């Protein structure tokens, strides 16, 4: 009896996007899954994450992670189930969190920190890609460790892309810690969600007011300025925040989605001199430097979820073949909260 | 017998400069010095300091110190001698460091932190405006506290305006702490001074190589990047530094002399996204937040001077009436080291 051959569909990088990526930059490829070696196991992906940072890996530049290679599958956060195993630490039926998204099947020997067993009885498995995963941890460590928000403080906090996966969590952690929060987002519906569901104090639609009015909008809500800016957008948002920072304010540089698809040279903030006169600290960070906070994060976040203090939304796209479209949606602001692709069952 | 009337010459701000200041923005005014009240003393200024930060106070903008007022005398670091006193804590003959430069005489009641008695036997009195004063402290706390340079480290440090008053001290403190140092400056003579006298490892004339080549110049000396950038210049220097920062690099934002006289909106660094991917920290600072380091600074600096480890130069302009010219020289790079005006004897 010969074993049935198993095929996996994968999304490959067909060419490096110039400016805003298009579906033509991606290619759906069918490959045969190789046989398992000793110590390896086979995972069938169920969920995958698309995140703005992936745009950076599509460029051929030195960065904190190597660029994606043309003709190779993309990578990214995923959750799947083990369907075959030659590894006695990973059993068939186990659910695992990994970094080999953008494909239906993957093989691992379980070494390294990229594969973690998760408990489907604790939470819906896709939460480990969002609120309980690196997305949540990014918001948590960014606002608490980088921006150093103080508990029971009277701080004022500005968050851009505030209805996004990371932003919405950052907003709510700031609220839990007693801060006053203003958020920027890109639609009326998202403004409403931020005010009614996430419970922040002020929210505005930057597309409606125009980017040049962001600074005044923040000033209207907080005339004495803001203590913390959690930056997911960069560009004019960052400049507007710098305009409004209080003395000794802190800016956590998490992402700059406004810059990722530019074809011209970006223009940095024209008012950076204020960083001197107002003694500002701007600090960039990457979540993977801060895995030491995972336990603390899980404890706090589970508690907050249990207490009903944390609201979040998922935007789900069905089918691996639609993963490029889901990724493109991120830059069009078509997601509220975490953007996920359901690629299996 | 009537007391002789005493007149003081002062430099007033005649109008707010637009772009590069000119001598027409200043006015020499003769005023009568009022009688001393109880508790007051009269100081005859001997030295005054001109510093780039004063350009900021000539603008009408909210900043960490109030703007200079049109028709009023300018202010700034000065050293003088008490020639008359109704205050039993300050005696005629005492030398004092104050903040009422740009004039021949001033009156104080000695309250506040702006007036400090100095010892002319310890060091030439003008050193208290430079190497032993706020200039030295700025370099000291900027490189050690803000940029957190570690002793006996193998760090690589880039300093801009490296032959300037602050820059040259920052360079040498970094060398004393074991770092490798590259400095940018604006003339061949200054390059030579930095290499031969200040003893730094690499120096270049940015006017010769062109601002667009600063990044490559740093990369040539330190292909693995720099750990610390001490920024006195901003603009293209800051951008070039960001290009070359190592992961977790630190940028101490001390000044942005390239930006102070711009009449157009400044262009911020186009590569600020690297602050995220390389987890950079950019921090602005003002020396007067850090007076708690004065004792430690005086101890270290006196020791280094005693050991011959600290070289510095003073550029001296004679005469109060030439103070505006001295100030303008700062922006033309005509000073090496500390720019001082000798206004008395």
How far is the first Cα of chain A from the last one, in angstroms, to the nearest whole number?
28
Non-local (6+) Cβ contacts of A301 within 8 A are A131, A132, A136, A140, A310
Residue with tokens 């004792």: B295
3-state helix, strand, coil in chain B (%, to 5): 30, 25, 40
Q: B324 by DSSP, 3-state: which?
A: helix
Non-local (6+) Cβ contacts of B305 within 8 A are B123, B131
Non-local (6+) Cβ contacts of B49 within 8 A are B76, B77, B78, B101, B129, B130, B133, B135, B338, B339, B340, B341
Q: What is the pLDDT of residue B99?
A: 94
Tokens coding A3: 């074993």
Burial class of residue A87 in the structure, from the number of CB atoms within 10 Å of its CB (0-12 exposed, 13-18 middle, 19+ buried) = middle
Q: Give the C-alpha distances (Å, rounded to integers) separating B134 from A123, B82, B119.
A: 58, 21, 16
Q: What is the pLDDT of residue B262?
A: 87
Domain boundaries, chain A: 7-125+313-342, 134-288
pLDDT of B120 above 60: yes
B290 - beta bridge partners? none
pLDDT of B130 above 70: yes
DSSP at B284: E
Domain B7-127+313-342's class? Answer: alpha beta
Which of B272, B287, B288 would best serve as a mutation to test chain A binding (most A beta carbons within 10 A)?
Answer: B272
Q: Which residue of B has its CA nearest to A264?
A: B270
At the topology level, CATH places domain B134-288 in Rossmann fold (3.40.50)
Tokens coding B302: 């006196």
Taking the C-alpha atoms of residue B337 and residue B330, their distance in angstroms, rounded to an integer, is 10
Q: A301 near A122, Cβ under 8 Å? A: no
Minimal CA separation from B189 to chain A, in Å? 29
Contact B253 A270 (CB under 8 A): no
pLDDT of B2 above 80: no
pTM for this prediction:
0.94
B262 touches chain A (CB under 8 A): no
Residues in chain A, pLDDT under 70: 1-3, 63-64, 113
pLDDT of B252 above 70: yes
Provide the chain A residues 34-63 that lie in CB contact (below 8 A) with chain B.
Answer: 56, 63
Non-local (6+) Cβ contacts of A321 within 8 A are A9, A28
Mean of the pLDDT values across residues B82-90?
96
Reported as a single tens digit per residue, the pLDDT across B45-81 is 999 999 999 999 999 876 667 899 999 999 999 999 9
B314 touches chain A (CB under 8 A): no
Reported as a single tens digit per residue, the pLDDT across B167-208 is 999 999 999 999 999 999 999 999 999 999 999 999 999 999
Taking the C-alpha atoms of residue B160 and residue A14, their distance in angstroms, rounded to an integer, is 43
| Residue B144, φ and ψ in degrees, nearest 5 | -90, -40
At the topology level, CATH places domain A7-125+313-342 in Quinone Oxidoreductase; Chain A, domain 1 (3.90.180)
Non-local (6+) Cβ contacts of A197 within 8 A are A311
What residues of B are in contact with residue A247 (Cβ under 8 Å)? 64
Q: What is the pLDDT of residue B3?
A: 64
B268 vs A247, A272, A281: nearest CB: A272
Q: What is the pLDDT of residue A2?
A: 56
Contact A267 B268 (CB under 8 A): yes
Taking the C-alpha atoms of residue A304 and residue A142, their distance in angstroms, rounded to an integer, is 17
What residues of A are in contact with residue B284 (Cβ under 8 Å)? 274-281
Taking the C-alpha atoms of residue B302 and residue B196, their distance in angstroms, rounded to an integer, is 22
Of B328, B319, B344, B266, residue with least CA distance to B51? B328
Contact B284 A284 (CB under 8 A): no
């Amino acid at each position: 009896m010969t074993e049935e051959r198993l095929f996996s569909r994968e999304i490959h990088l067909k060419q490096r996007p110039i400016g805003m990526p298009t579906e033509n930059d991606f290619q759906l490829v069918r490959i045969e899954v190789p046989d398992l070696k000793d110590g390896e196991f086979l995972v069938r992906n169920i969920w995958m994450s698309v995140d703005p940072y992936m745009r950076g890996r599509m460029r051929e530049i030195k960065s904190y992670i190597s660029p994606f290679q043309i003709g190779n599958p993309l990578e990214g956060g995923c959750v799947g189930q083990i369907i075959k195993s030659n590894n006695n630490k990973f059993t068939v039926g186990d659910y695992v969190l990994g970094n080999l998204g953008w494909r239906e099947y993957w093989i691992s020997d379980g070494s390294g920190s990229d594969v973690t067993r998760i408990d489907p009885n604790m939470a819906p498995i896709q939460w480990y890609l969002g609120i309980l995963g690196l997305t949540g941890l990014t918001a948590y460590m960014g606002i608490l460790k980088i921006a150093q928000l103080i508990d029971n403080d009277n701080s004022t906090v500005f968050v851009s892309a505030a209805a996004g996966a990371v932003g919405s969590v950052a907003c709510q952690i700031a609220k839990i810690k007693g801060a006053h929060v203003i958020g920027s987002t890109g639609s009326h519906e998202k403004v409403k969600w931020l005010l009614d569901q996430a419970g922040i104090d002020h929210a505005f639609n930057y597309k409606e007011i125009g980017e040049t009015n962001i600074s005044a909008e923040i000033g209207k809500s907080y005339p004495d300025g803001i203590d913390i800016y959690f930056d997911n957008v960069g560009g004019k948002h960052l400049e507007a925040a710098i305009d409004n920072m209080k003395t000794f304010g802190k800016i956590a540089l998490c992402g700059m989605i406004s810059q990722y698809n530019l074809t011209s040279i970006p223009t940095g903030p024209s008012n950076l001199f204020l960083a001197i006169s107002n003694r500002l600290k701007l600090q960039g960070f990457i979540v993977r430097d801060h895995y030491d906070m995972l336990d603390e994060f899980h404890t706090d976040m589970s508690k907050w979820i249990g207490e009903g203090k944390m609201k979040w939304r998922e935007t789900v796209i069905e089918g691996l073949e639609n993963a490029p479209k889901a990724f493109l949606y991120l830059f069009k602001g078509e997601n509220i909260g975490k953007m996920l692709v359901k690629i299996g069952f």
